[in-house]
Amino acid sequence: MILSESGWNDFFEEQFLRWSGSGLVPGRVVGEAGYIYEVETGTGRFNAQVSGHFQYIAAGRADYPAVGDWVLLRGESDLLIVERVLDRKSLFSRLAAGKRIDEQVIASNIDIMFIVASLEGGRNFTQRGIERYIVMVNDGGAEPVIILNKCDLCSETEREDFITMARSVAGDIPVLMVSAKTGEGMEQVRGLLSTGVTAAFTGPSGAGKSALINNLLGRDVQRTGALREDDLRGRHTTTRRELFHLESGAMVIDTPGLRELRPYGDTESLDAAFTEIAEAAEGCRFSDCSHTDEPGCAVLQLVSEGAIEYERYQNYITIRNEMNNLEMMKSEKGRLERKARDKAISKLVKNYYKDHER
Ligand code: GDP
Ligand code: ZN
């Protein structure tokens, strides 16, 4: 396996150079099951686990490897050791709520994210939904491309209407119309998938993501395949493959979390999806205008004049509020963690004095 065919490029090479002489080899995470990873290196496919040192220095779940990651590995046997995750070019994460709220990376180093909407009578296609997905893809740092799937179910005029509606929210983002079923238009998708490119699909359930991936692979994706029955310790481990190689040399990441992304991140990605609102905001009287009820708000002015579509404006506010709520949850988590840490430290100090008084 030549690394460049797996998406290795200067961005990763530069980081790797710092480790030259360390004996570590680069590999890409193609599957994950619990804390066992499947990795591809220049010499083959192996199972891997993070080292003890890795666990020790990891600040949270987000530091752990995810599908798509480039990692540096040690060892030659069947179970390699992950010593480091190289910086990610793009990453999609979610807040995993549990006892503590933790950011969990779902997949990384995705170049193109296809946003899939389906045209079956329009039920699975809304401009508001597409806007929302555009924000999330911007957020992750991948290139968004819109796929309008199931065009086989539409008449010529319906197709034109859908394309017009999609383009009106897409901005510069390409809009492709295809049918995963008949294969119509799929050459436009394939045209974007050249050697070394990593793509993924997101969009509402039922839009046809699996059908599109199967069409590209020319076979049905094995979602639950058992790959390695035993590792060095003789334990039974089954990693689920989530990164697939296409014949073209491109790759597709298909992992459940990517199918249900939520807006999460900074307002820059929001502004990139709603450029006319971001531009208008520069004319607001207050620099911290929330565009909801302030006097001198240029956004509200344009909405009232109809120059900014009201539904689009509403969606902007809704997504922004959702993002702010997640941010608040995150900082709440930070506060609780700091509190726990301070408590632990004060206990250590107390014990130290107790021990030394004697
Ligand atoms: P996912 O939830 O996004 O992965 O959607 P699926 O790939 O499971 O597709 C949902 C349903 O739509 C399935 O019954 C597919 O057979 C059907 N489907 C997918 N793509 C097309 C298409 O291009 N045309 C038609 N007519 N049906 C499709
Ligand atoms: Zn304003």
CA-based nearest residue to 243, from 204, 264, 217: 217
Choose the weakest-confidence range: 83-87, 129-133, 217-221.
Answer: 217-221
150 CB under 6 A from ligand 1? yes
pLDDT value at position 327? 75
207 CB under 6 A from ligand 1? yes
Ligand number nearest to the C-alpha of 286 = 2
Q: What percent of the chain has pLDDT over 90?
A: 65
Ligand 1 centroid–CA 252 distance in Å is: 18
Eight-class DSSP state of 67 = B
Q: What number of other Cβ atoms are within 10 A of residue 181's Cβ? A: 15
Angle between helices 127-140 and 310-357 (to 10 degrees): 40
Ligand 1 centroid–CA 153 distance in Å is: 11
Q: With contact defined as beta carbons under 8 Å apart, do 240 and 253 qualify?
A: no
218 pLDDT tier (thresholds 50, 70, 90)? confident
Q: How many H-runs (helices) and E-runs (strands) does the chain carry?
A: 10, 14
User: Which residue, by CA, sits nearest to atom 26 of ligand 1?
Assistant: 150
Cβ contacts of 289 within 8 Å, gap of 6 or more: 281, 296, 297, 299
pLDDT value at position 223? 46
Quick: pLDDT tens for 19-76.
Answer: 988 999 999 999 998 889 999 999 999 999 999 999 999 988 889 999 999 999 999 7
Quick: pLDDT tens for 85-121.
Answer: 999 999 998 876 665 667 889 999 999 999 999 998 6
Residue 269 has pLDDT above 50, yes or no: yes
**Interval 243-266 mean pLDDT:** 86
Residues in the chain: 358
345 pLDDT tier (thresholds 50, 70, 90)? low
Please provide the distance, in angstroms rounded to a whole number, between the alpha carbons at the two ends of the chain. 64
**Interval 142-148 mean pLDDT:** 97
149 CB under 6 A from ligand 1? yes
SS3 314: helix
pLDDT value at position 233? 42
pLDDT value at position 98? 62
